[in-house]
Structure 1
């Protein structure tokens, strides 16, 4: 058995699944998680706690880096 991963536009998913089923291919849809990772969650919590830095403009932001 071989696994093949393909990306299909949302509006074509049903068509592709039906075609593959007709060919006898087992179709399993892999959902992409839109959950943020731990590092992103930590950064969001830091901002919610008021620990973020504020800049008046982009130049100030880049000067701080």
Structure 2
């Protein structure tokens, strides 16, 4: 027996499960965990919510600031 992992859009899951069942394939649904931002990203988001972010007039100005 082999294990095969496939990613299926939510709206197509029932269709794929029915097809595989018809073929005699055992189906086990494994939900993906939602990824959580790391501490640095959370701090940056909070900084932006507080209005402390920098604004640039153009992409060129942004890259020149780096």
TM-score in terms of structure 2 length? 0.65
Residue ranges of structure 2 left out of the alignment (5+ in a row): none
Structure 1: how far apart are the matches of 2:59 and 2:41?
A: 22
CA RMSD of aligned residues (A): 2.4
Write the distance in 2 (CA, Å) between the matches of 1:16 and 1:40.
37
| CA–CA separation in structure 2 for the residues paired with 1:2 and 1:16 | 18
Give the 3-state SS of the residue equivalent to 1:5 in structure 2: coil
1:14 aligns with 2:36: no
Q: With structure 1 as the length reference, what TM-score do the two structures score?
A: 0.66
- Unmatched segments (≥5 aa) in structure 1: none
